[in-house]
Amino acid sequence: MTKIITPTLKEYSLKSDDFIVTKTDLKGVITYGNSTFLEICQFTEIDIMNKPHNIIRHPDMPKAVFKMLWDTLKGGDEFFGVVKNLCSDGSFYWVFANVTPSYNDTGKIIGYFSVRRQPKKELVSIFSELYRKMVAEEKRHSNPKQAITASTQIFINYIEEQGVSYNEFILSFT
């Protein structure tokens, strides 16, 4: 049974040389987490291995972002994004995430590999506000599909206002 974590307002800030690495299976179950991951999220290896990666999902994250992530990965593409994660003590941390499919010798996707690092403060500022609007929109809808569709539209509108593709926008901060 997974312990319920109550989010707090305490933020853990990654250092510039922190690199969080995890691997998951096709369903997002953690099969590997490096020592930096364990240290920052404050879980033991026993607590986190073979658990869904969403064990560290912060409730401030829009469901639409994870739908976009999964759609991108299932299409065989890598995903770049800004994510607010939850620590076992309820504190949180922001990351700039790069998630890629892992392939076997025959070219079949067998899992996912993620490297996360310290995001630029400007990026966190932009996405924390955008995500706040998206989560509020998701809460306005009782139908989960409609909630994600409406939230995704807020995201799409914001990126279109920038006049570049999502990847061009997000990678301009690296």
Q: Kindly state the tokens that stand for 161.
A: 């206002």
pLDDT at 100 over 90: yes
Q: Tell me the three state secondary structure of residue 125.
A: helix
pLDDT tens per residue across span 4-26: 899 999 999 999 999 999 999 99
CB 57 within 8 A of CB 85: yes
pLDDT at 2 over 70: no
CATH of domain 19-171: 3.30.450.20
Q: What is the mean pLDDT of the chain?
A: 96
Q: Indicate whether this model's pTM tops 0.85.
A: yes
CA angle 55/56/57 to nearest 5° reads: 95
User: Which whole-number Å values give the CA distances from 36 to 65, 66, 117, in the listed order?
Assistant: 24, 23, 10
CA distance 140 to 150: 9
Q: Taking residues 142-162, what's their average pLDDT?
A: 97
CB 47 within 8 A of CB 135: no
CA distance 120 to 138: 26
pLDDT tens per residue across span 107-133: 999 999 999 999 999 999 999 999 999
pLDDT tens per residue across span 49-85: 999 999 999 999 999 999 999 999 999 999 999 999 9
- Domain locations along the chain: 19-171
